[in-house]
Chains A and B, each alone.
Chain A
């Protein structure tokens, strides 16, 4: 689960990291009063940033400076309601604009290969790390935190020295260890501070976290009810929300063939084969192991909610999942649905014969069965191309 910048910054603050003061505004008037407060506190300008989970908000015009409260109100009113990659901006973050001397990059990620937390840093901050990795890979310094002892002092020092942060070494050490602590305290799989900046205030210079990204491990959300509260339902497709509530793994795509499969690998394979046969999958859907009839029915409702679906492929390899349970769910779902879309069903493995009998007894003219995956794919792609009246 991705967190908004203001939530990510709140988590950094909890671990004692230096994050400049900020406020959240849902209206231009709120943005104005926050700007008034920061300008009265001595800030020369304020920055107003759209709070959306998609990247590239700066380029889209979602980050702007303002020199007065009036200007802040105007800018906020332009950004609020703006569409950034299909997401409507509902909140802006308002903060005093920092006088930046240099921008660094600092992040903690799960490294699969070493099976450790990797802390990465670069003196080329403020740009996407992928870009640095491509253009100047040597500019990225990496250390692996000890799996049981965490990020060690000498590792933090090493990063600081290699970034050329000699004058700010102590500050940097506190920040690097705080970054790691943020990862562990929240079961994050990514904590990114970009930029981590040397900021000037009068004659004083300090390191400050000016932007932050945090992604939480979905498997750990159960033990972090406070983080679950940070989920931004406004930015989620309502279909995704419904799928999660049913315990289904569902991703909507652009095609016309609905897919219902058990197991993520087999679900991807089914999509791949549909595409290879000239069809376009309308979704990824893994109903999981041991799916019961009601879950199958809920999955069918999700698929049929997509108006562009013209045919459905059900591919179940029974192991934990039992074929008869799935067949019952399908029959139940068909009885509840008003839309009749041709459906190809392939159920093999545990209780497959029982499943075939249940489907045959239901006698639904829209349902055909297939023995092999290749055969099922061929039929469903043909059905998706049939004239619309056939499925009306």
Chain B
């Protein structure tokens, strides 16, 4: 099964004629993702990609003419909130927004519309999701994976790649790897993704990669304690050495007052039995200790 994306995915790429959108759409198609079309307003009628797919002016056409059920957005920040809402209005159920630097108050309005429509948004400012061997949606490099049963959920981009590569080298394969993004206001939380992993028969263990700022990791820990007891889990939290009060790149990564520290997150996770690594390279060992067998 895997989660979010897989063989059932019929993907529309919003912003497919742009530089980023075009490049990554090709990478996704090369990986084997079923891209059914692209959308760029006023570019309708063109074709895109090496195995050509149609480009439409609207998401409405994408859904009606190709049955698209998943969208990935590479539209610049000024147009991205509207692109998300366009996908929702067209009836697309799963939406990934890769775009970064979307103003937080724009996202704050958008996420509540997404929720009310019963759609699922991952991101913004996220690397997307890959279900190993079946579908890659977003920008995660395809070459770092190995098929298996470990689910990975993360707030970062390249740090996720680092962890996934460490798993692959240790012979530990992945079911789905999901980046939820580093912005303060985003569509899916750790808990939303953990719930999907819990209910996925192909996922037997989970790696959670967090970072300083906010209290999403603490909330995830509380949820894990109640709903995922007994599932082998490992974690890494970035930012132990970060000084308070400075924004470390991501808009969300800041220690303010006594909140959001790595210590608080690590303590919360360890309290519910999650093994927390001191370095990304230690995660495979911790998973093995928790009962995961390298394949």
Chain A residues engaging chain B, CB cutoff 8 angstroms: 110, 112-113, 115-117, 130, 134, 147-148, 183-184, 187, 189, 217-220, 222-223, 249, 251, 253, 261-269, 271-276, 281, 284, 286, 289-290, 317-320, 348-350, 372-374
Q: Report yes or no: B252 in contact with A268, Cβ–Cβ below 8 A.
A: no
Partner of B241, one of A217, A271, A350: A271
Q: Report yes or no: A269 in contact with B252, Cβ–Cβ below 8 A.
A: no
Partner of A319, one of B77, B106, B158: B158
- SS class, residues of chain B in contact with chain A: loop
Alpha-carbon separation in the docked complex, A289 to B107 (Å): 22
Closest residue of chain B to A133 (Cβ to Cβ) is: B257
- SS class, residues of chain A in contact with chain B: mixed
Alpha-carbon separation in the docked complex, A73 to B33 (Å): 72
Q: Report yes or no: B141 in contact with A349, Cβ–Cβ below 8 A.
A: yes
Q: For residue A318, which residues in chain B have a CB less than 8 angstroms away from its CB?
A: 141
Answer whether A189 and B104 are a contact pair too, CB < 8 Å, given A265-B158, A374-B281.
yes
Q: Report yes or no: A251 in contact with B157, Cβ–Cβ below 8 A.
A: no
Alpha-carbon separation in the docked complex, A251 to B240 (Å): 15
Q: Report yes or no: A265 in contact with B104, Cβ–Cβ below 8 A.
A: no
Alpha-carbon separation in the docked complex, A374 to B281 (Å): 8
Q: Report yes or no: B157 in contact with A187, Cβ–Cβ below 8 A.
A: no
Most chain B beta-carbon contacts within 10 A, residue among A261, A267, A276, A286: A267
A172 CB to nearest chain B CB (Å): 24
Q: For residue B141, which residues in chain A have a CB less than 8 angstroms away from its CB?
A: 318-319, 349-350
A215 CB to nearest chain B CB (Å): 10
Closest residue of chain B to A219 (Cβ to Cβ) is: B101
Interface size on B, residues (CB 8 A): 60
A64 CB to nearest chain B CB (Å): 26
Q: Tell me, yes or no, whether B280 is within 8 Å of chain A by CB.
A: yes
Q: For residue A115, which residues in chain B have a CB less than 8 angstroms away from its CB?
A: 107-108, 111-112, 185
Most chain B beta-carbon contacts within 10 A, residue among A112, A223, A253, A373: A112
Answer whether A276 and B159 are a contact pair too, CB < 8 Å, given A117-B108, A268-B212, A268-B242.
no
Most chain B beta-carbon contacts within 10 A, residue among A115, A220, A271: A115
Interface residues of B in 205-247 (CB under 8 A from A): 209, 211-212, 214-216, 219, 236, 238-243, 246
Answer whether A110 and B185 are a contact pair too, CB < 8 Å, given A130-B257, A268-B248, A286-B249.
yes
Q: Report yes or no: B241 in contact with A275, Cβ–Cβ below 8 A.
A: yes
7 A-B pairs with the lowest CB-CB distances in the bound complex, closest first: A265-B156, A264-B249, A263-B158, A265-B159, A220-B103, A268-B238, A266-B158
Q: Tell me, yes or no, whether B117 is within 8 Å of chain A by CB.
A: no
Q: Tell me, yes or no, whether B31 is within 8 Å of chain A by CB.
A: no
Q: Tell me, yes or no, whether B155 is within 8 Å of chain A by CB.
A: yes
